[in-house]
Every structure is written in structure tokens, then in C-alpha cells.
């Protein structure tokens, strides 16, 4: 039999929660996780046994001694967050959830691991399974999302105090998480902001899919984290008490902590332990049999002895007591309603009224401003009307215009502010915003140039997959940014974002549409939004006020034809002005054009077929957008024409670029006259 995990002398971990009676039980408790993991993967004929088996001791230490969760109230606001950043080890999470009694995680679901409709998806999916705090799988996302959660905790604490908000964020991260670039952005930001309640347990097993990690990395991770202001420690990840001590020590720090847990991947497997063979495939019957012997685990698959079950249920008992204490404190605080509305993210009752009043003002004053500037003006109203919003930018504040008066900066040790300087870290910004939204209490928005949505793709996709109310303020949304040239000019990005499921991509054409887009974004509780905004000024064409949010239709007729509709010009954003001017020119040539503004394709797609037919019309259609054509054929049809970009941009003043690429009223007229007879 394999040496049992080494019991070191038990120190005083200064754990506030009462310790479970696990002095004897912890080895079996960990082995229960190992057995469930290897057996579920075997039954599914697919999955990753190595990480759960390697990290079972660490997870047991964390949950038995520290984790504050109440499985009967998975969404309790002051629970500790546990993030399995190495999401492929999902069976570790599911096994724990099964044993501590989450209602959805019966043994039948464990047996249905990775089957259609089971809560035991291949990777943990937020919203699909109780207690899964965030969707993980793409490596590094969980770690970075956890930074957002830990930041949200400090910010909510700054607003509600220790009695109501005081919880930890624990992460299990693998070598992959620490090799991905996003991990640098995460640890730099977390260290800078002194997120002391963030504790990362690194599964330091020295193995990646290709083989030993020494094939591709030599970084001293402890030194690296230390360089970014973290506390660091290294322990034998199979030594329960050493792990307990390290976590206790980490909890005492006012800096984020990394604990390197030296483990053996696939711990217990007789021939595959310590090798990449244990990582991502079923172990096979013989290996599993051998593992049972080595671990001293004689129980049949999916059977857990009562004493082990009872020991694990202690985690739930302790959590329930903590939650009940907290409910009492919350009730006594006199701030229950305020707190709950905040956590739910409820906009104030007069929110829309204020926005609509400002919309009327915009229709009257008709500002000729860039839509990024309009966004700033609207944010001034929004940020005064609600304090749920939390601004930020990836170091382009004065370009994105995301900062409004009176929002203080979030700073190390001072979390009262409402503006995050994310640094030059687009990817982390997206994932941190996911964490802020998931935690509750904030509606995060963050800015960068539209072209750098490239760098944030990984996080944007998870915003959409998890249905989080996150707002991406992507300015400088076309060749209209001018001289910075093709590296800074988005071309394919609108298509990339429009192709992403459950993402609203707004490209407003004037100040009124910008306001409407913001209004829709803030109300879309299950959908992230992108606001693609211009650098250059745009006239206000929505000069007739409507209480109704026309952008909510996704597309609408912005200029009616005079008599008959000879052609329909479709446009978004800064090109709506071009369509209007083309319509004027066409009128001189006896062509009667309607102009349709299409600020949000996704919302237009949800309208009735009748409405869509009415907007698109039966006349030929010409679209104009300073971007790639991909996707436009749906709207212009086979007879249609597209005026836009055929390749990358160039460096020059914006007006010259529009001329150079033929994205002009005259270009639109030419396209129309190519399919119609023009006078």
C-alpha cells in the first residue's frame, strides 16, 4: 500500500470556524474524492482523473477546515467562493458537492458525468450546477475571474462592513493556468490591489499534457508571485496538516497568497501516477483496481461509507450555522433591503425616467459629438442615478471616456471608489468584470479600443456563455480612428462579436442611440453587451423624441422614403450619417431611398418576421459599414450591395481613409446606381 499522506504536527491554524473532527477521517475523505473521480471518469469513458486524485488532500483540507458554504443556500451572499480554475478537474468539485449535499448532486448525476443534460458537465458550467461559481475550462480564466470576485468582496465590504461582507476567494489553479498570459495580468492586478482574501492553491504536479512541465517552462513561480506582491508558500500537497497550516497562514496575510501544493498527479494510480497518462483519459479497470489497493479503498464504485459521508456533511453543518449567524447580523444591521437589492443588481425605480428625460434633452440639443463622447455624457447620468455601476478602462480612460465626475479610483487598501484602473490588461479586465458580475453587487463596464477586443476574446466569450451583465465599451470602432493605422483599426471585430451567441453588439449612430444602447445594456440581466463607439463626431439625427427605445428593435427606419421606396440603405454607427447623405444625393437623381439604422442585429433578429420585412422592405438594399462584409448578406440579400472594408485599414487622417476606401455617400450612390437606374 502506498504511504498515506504525511501527517505533520498540527499547529494552531487560527481558524475561526469550528474544526471538524477530521483528525482521523481526512485520509478516507480524500480517498472518497479520488474514488468518485476515477470511477465517474471510467464510466463516462472520458474525463480527467489525474487532477482530482492529486488535489484530493488539498481540497479536503480546504473544505473541512475553512470553506464557508451552505449547500442548502448555494447563493448565500457571504459564502466563500471556491473557483476550480483548472476546470478539467471538474470531478473534484462534483465529488465534493455530492458529499456535502448540494441538492442537485445525487449519486446518479455523478454516474451521469459528462452525459447530455447531467449537472456534471465536462467542465464546471455556471448556472447549470448549484455552487459552481464560474464557468472554467479555458485555462487562467478561473484565476482571473476570482480576482474580480475578491475585489468585489472588498468593495462590498467597504460599503457594508465586516459584519455583512467578509469572505474568502479560494482558487485551485494548475500549471496551465499559470502558464497562460492572463495569469500575469491577474496576479499583477491582485497583488497591486492587495486582495488579501484571495488564496490560490497551485496544483504543482510538474506535469502537463505534453509531458513534464520542464519541456516548456523553467519559471520559479514562487519568485514570480512574490515579485507581484503576493505572499507565497510551498507545501507537500499530500500532507493534510501542512496544507491546513499554510491556508491558515495565508488567511492572516493582507496580501493575496499563493500556496504551491506539491502533488502527484493521479495520486494512487499504480503505473500512471506522476505521469501525463493520468491527466485526461480514463485510467482503465486494471489501474483503478490497483489504485483501490494502494489507497486502501475497498468500496465498490460510487459507494461511500457512512462515516465518510458523515464527516463530509460536517462541512455543510458548519456552513449552515455560519449562514444563520450571518442572517441574524444582516437583519440586525437594518440594511437588509439595501443589501439585497444591491446583490440582486436592481436598478433604482426612477432610473429609466432619468434616462428618458436626458434622451429628450439630447433630441433637443442635438449634440454633434463622437459616440464615445455621447457615452460619457450618458454615463454621467447613469452613474449619478445608480451606484451599481463600476467603471474602468484598460489604460485608455481618456480615450474611452469611461470616467465620469465623482467616481473615485479603486486603490490598494481603499475599495470605496467606483473606477478600476485595469492597466494595460484587456484580457484580465474582461475576466475580472465577469468575477465582479458573478459576485453580485456591481454592474461592471470597462473600456478599450474595439480592435483590442482581440485580447479580451477569452473573457468576452465567458461573459456570453455565463450570461453576465457586463458592458464592454469599445471605442475607436473603425478606420475612423485614423492615423494609428491598421493595427488599431478593427475590420473583422464586429463580425467576430456578432457571431458570438448571447452577446448584444450595439453600434449606435448618434447620441440618442448611444443612450438607448446603454439603457438596454443595463437592463439585459442575462446578456453582456458591447458598445462599439466612434472616435469621430456624429450628428444627432434622432431629433424627434420618443419615450420608446427604438434601439430595442435592433433596426428601424430612420429616414422614410418620400413617396415610394426605391432602395433601402442599411447602416450602423458612424455610417448612418453617410447613408443619410447618400439618400440626399440619390434624391437629386430621382431615387427615393429609405435609411435603416441597425444598431443591434441580435435584437433585430428577435423581432417578428412582419416587423423585419417592414423594416427591410422589398426594394433592393445597400449596406454601408466600415467593417468586413461577413454577415451582411443576410440583410442585403442576393441583389444587394455592400460598401465597406475589403481588407485591412491604413494610417492617415480619418476623412482621407473614408475616401480612400470608398466608404462615402458617393460610394453608396455608386453602389445603388449599379443595381438601379439613376437619373
One of 123, 476, 504, 542 touching a copy of itself (CB under 8 A): 123
Count Cα neighbours of 204 within 13 Å in the Cβ-side half-sphere: 18
Specify whether 656 is catalytic. Answer: no
Nearer to a copy of itself by C-beta: 210 or 544? 210
Under a CB-based contact definition with an 8 Å cutoff, are residues 584 and 488 in contact?
A: no
Which of the residues 130 through 159 are near a copy of itself (CB under 8 A)?
135-139
Nearer to a copy of itself by C-beta: 147 or 316? 147
Helices (H) and strands (E) in the chain, counts: 25, 20
What is the three-class DSSP state of 487?
helix
Burial class (CB in 10 A: 0-12, 13-18, 19+), 191: buried
Query: d(Cα 358, Cα 239) in Å, to the nearest integer?
Result: 62
Which of the residues 571 through 610 are near a copy of itself (CB under 8 A)?
none
| Binding pattern for the stretch 16-55 against a copy of itself, x by CB under 8 A and - elsewhere | ----------------------------x-xx--------
Nearer to a copy of itself by C-beta: 192 or 299? 192
Under a CB-based contact definition with an 8 Å cutoff, are residues 643 and 624 in contact?
A: yes
Q: Measured from the CB of residue 648, what is the shortest distance to a copy of itself in angstroms?
A: 5
Q: Is 207 annotated as a binding residue?
A: yes
Query: Is 209 an interacting residue with respect to a copy of itself (CB under 8 A)?
Result: yes
Query: d(Cα 451, Cα 486) in Å, to the nearest integer?
Result: 9
The span from the first CA to the last CA of the chain, in angstroms, equals 92
What is the three-class DSSP state of 446?
strand
Which of the residues 214 through 233 are near a copy of itself (CB under 8 A)?
215-221, 223-224, 226-229
Query: Is 487 an interacting residue with respect to a copy of itself (CB under 8 A)?
Result: yes
Which of the residues 333 through 362 are near a copy of itself (CB under 8 A)?
none
Distances from the Cα of 132 to the Cαs of 41, 94, 111, 457, in angstroms? 19, 9, 18, 22
One of 201, 295, 428, 615 touching a copy of itself (CB under 8 A): 428
One of 9, 300, 501, 544 touching a copy of itself (CB under 8 A): 501
Part in contact with a copy of itself (CB under 8 A); list of ranges 202-210, 309-317, 353-361, 438-446: 202-210
Part in contact with a copy of itself (CB under 8 A); list of ranges 99-107, 307-315, 424-432, 559-567: 424-432
Which of the residues 74 through 113 are near a copy of itself (CB under 8 A)?
87-88
Among residues 376, 426, 577, 625, the one annotated as catalytic is 426
Q: Measured from the CB of residue 115, what is the shortest distance to a copy of itself in angstroms?
A: 6
Query: CA nearest 375: which of 233, 520, 517, 270?
Result: 517
Q: Measured from the CB of residue 258, what is the shortest distance to a copy of itself in angstroms?
A: 12
One of 20, 27, 171, 189 touching a copy of itself (CB under 8 A): 189
Q: Is 228 annotated as a binding residue?
A: no
Beta pairing class for 471-475 and 529-532: parallel
Query: d(Cα 85, Cα 97) in Å, to the nearest integer?
Result: 16
Query: Is 162 an interacting residue with respect to a copy of itself (CB under 8 A)?
Result: no
Nearer to a copy of itself by C-beta: 229 or 345? 229
Q: Measured from the CB of residue 144, what is the shortest distance to a copy of itself in angstroms?
A: 9
Q: DSSP assignment, residue 421?
A: E
Nearer to a copy of itself by C-beta: 121 or 239? 121
Please list, residue by residue across 416-452, b when 16 or more beta carbons sit within 10 angstroms of its beta carbon and e when fewer do. Answer: ebbbbbbbebbbbbbbbbbbbbbbbbbbbbbbbbbbb
Count Cα neighbours of 195 within 13 Å in the Cβ-side half-sphere: 31
Count Cα neighbours of 664 within 13 Å in the Cβ-side half-sphere: 12
Which of the residues 623 through 662 are near a copy of itself (CB under 8 A)?
628-631, 633-634, 637-638, 645-648, 650-653, 656-657, 660
List residues forming the annotated binding site for Mg(2+): 175, 205, 207
Q: Which of the residues are catalytic?
A: 426
Amino acid at each position: 500500500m502506498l504511504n498515506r499522506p504525511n501527517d505533520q504536527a498540527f499547529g494552531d491554524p487560527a481558524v475561526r470556524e469550528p474544526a471538524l473532527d477530521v483528525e482521523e477521517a481526512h485520509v478516507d475523505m480524500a480517498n472518497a474524492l479520488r474514488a468518485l473521480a476515477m470511477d465517474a471518469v471510467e464510466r463516462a469513458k472520458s474525463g480527467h482523473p489525474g487532477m482530482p486524485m492529486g488535489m484530493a488532500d488539498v481540497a479536503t483540507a480546504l473544505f473541512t477546515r475553512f470553506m464557508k458554504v451552505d449547500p442548502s443556500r448555494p447563493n448565500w451572499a457571504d459564502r466563500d467562493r471556491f473557483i476550480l480554475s483548472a476546470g478539467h478537474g471538474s470531478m473534484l468539485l462534483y465529488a465534493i458537492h455530492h458529499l456535502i449535499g448540494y441538492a442537485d448532486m445525487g449519486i446518479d448525476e455523478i454516474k451521469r458525468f459528462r452525459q447530455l443534460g447531467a449537472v456534471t458537465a465536462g467542465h464546471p458550467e455556471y448556472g447549470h450546477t448549484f455552487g459552481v461559481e464560474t464557468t472554467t475550462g479555458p485555462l487562467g480564466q478561473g484565476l482571473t475571474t476570482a480576482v474580480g470576485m475578491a475585489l468585489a468582496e472588498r468593495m462590498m465590504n467597504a460599503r457594508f462592513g465586516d459584519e455583512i461582507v467578509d469572505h474568502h476567494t479560494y482558487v485551485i489553479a494548475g500549471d496551465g493556468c499559470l502558464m497562460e498570459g492572463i495569469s500575469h495580468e491577474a496576479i499583477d492586478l491582485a497583488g497591486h490591489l492587495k486582495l488579501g482574501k484571495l488564496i490560490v492553491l497551485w496544483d504543482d504536479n510538474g506535469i502537463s499534457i505534453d509531458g513534464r512541465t520542464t519541456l516548456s517552462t523553467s519559471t520559479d513561480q514562487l519568485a514570480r508571485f512574490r515579485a507581484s506582491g503576493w505572499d507565497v508558500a510551498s507545501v507537500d500537497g499530500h500532507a493534510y496538516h501542512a496544507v491546513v497550516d499554510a491556508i491558515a497562514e495565508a488567511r492572516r496575510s493582507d496580501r493575496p497568497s499563493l500556496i504551491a501544493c506539491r502533488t502527484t498527479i493521479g495520486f494512487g494510480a499504480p503505473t500512471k501516477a506522476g505521469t501525463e497518462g493520468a491527466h485526461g483519459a480514463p485510467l482503465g479497470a486494471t489501474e483503478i483496481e490497483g489504485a483501490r489497493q494502494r489507497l486502501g479503498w475497498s468500496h465498490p464504485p460510487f459507494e461511500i461509507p457512512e462515516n465518510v459521508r458523515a464527516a463530509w456533511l460536517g462541512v455543510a453543518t458548519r456552513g449552515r450555522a455560519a449562514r444563520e449567524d450571518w442572517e441574524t447580523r444582516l437583519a440586525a444591521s437594518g440594511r437588509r433591503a439595501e443589501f439585497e437589492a444591491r446583490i440582486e443588481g436592481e436598478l433604482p425605480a426612477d432610473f429609466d425616467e432619468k434616462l428618458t428625460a436626458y434622451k429628450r434633452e439630447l433630441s433637443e440639443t442635438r449634440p454633434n459629438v463622437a459616440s464615445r463622447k455621447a457615452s460619457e455624457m450618458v454615463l454621467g447620468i447613469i452613474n449619478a442615478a445608480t451606484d451599481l455601476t463600476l467603471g474602468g478602462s484598460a489604460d485608455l480612460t481618456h480615450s474611452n471616456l469611461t470616467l465620469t465626475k465623482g467616481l473615485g479610483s479603486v486603490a490598494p487598501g481603499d475599495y470605496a471608489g467606483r473606477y478600476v484602473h485595469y492597466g494595460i490588461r484587456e484580457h484580465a479586465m474582461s475576466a475580472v468584470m465577469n468575477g465582479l458580475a458573478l459576485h453580485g453587487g456591481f454592474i461592471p463596464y470597462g473600456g478599450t479600443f474595439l480592435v483590442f477586443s482581440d485580447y479580451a476574446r477569452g473573457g468576452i466569450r465567458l461573459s456570453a456563455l455565463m450570461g453576465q451583465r457586463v458592458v464592454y465599451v469599445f471605442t475607436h470602432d473603425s478606420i475612423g480612428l485614423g492615423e494609428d493605422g491598421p493595427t488599431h483599426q478593427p475590420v473583422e471585430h464586429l463580425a467576430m462579436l456578432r457571431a458570438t451567441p448571447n452577446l448584444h453588439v450595439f453600434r449606435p449612430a448618434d447620441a440618442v442611440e448611444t443612450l438607448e444602447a446603454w439603457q438596454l445594456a443595463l437592463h439585459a440581466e442575462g446578456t453582456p453587451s458591447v458598445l462599439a463607439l466612434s472616435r469621430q463626431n456624429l450628428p444627432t439625427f434622432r431629433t424627434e423624441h420618443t419615450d420608446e427605445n427604438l434601439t430595442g428593435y435592433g433596426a428601424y427606419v430612420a429616414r422614410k422614403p418620400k413617396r415610394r421606396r426605391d432602395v433601402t440603405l442599411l447602416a450602423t454607427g458612424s455610417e448612418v450619417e453617410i447613408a443619410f447623405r447618400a439618400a440626399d444625393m440619390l434624391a437629386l437623381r430621382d431615387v427615393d431611398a429609405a435609411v435603416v439604422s441597425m444598431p443591434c442585429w441580435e435584437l433585430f433578429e428577435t423581432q417578428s418576421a412582419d416587423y423585419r420585412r417592414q423594416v427591410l422592405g422589398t426594394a433592393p438594399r445597400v449596406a454601408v459599414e466600415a467593417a468586413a462584409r461577413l454577415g451582411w448578406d443576410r440583410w442585403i440579400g442576393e441583389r444587394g450591395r455592400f460598401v465597406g472594408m475589403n481588407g485591412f485599414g491604413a494610417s492617415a487622417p480619418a476623412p482621407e481613409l473614408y475616401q480612400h476606401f470608398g466608404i462615402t455617400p458617393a460610394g453608396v450612390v455608386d453602389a445603388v446606381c449599379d443595381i438601379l437606374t439613376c437619373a
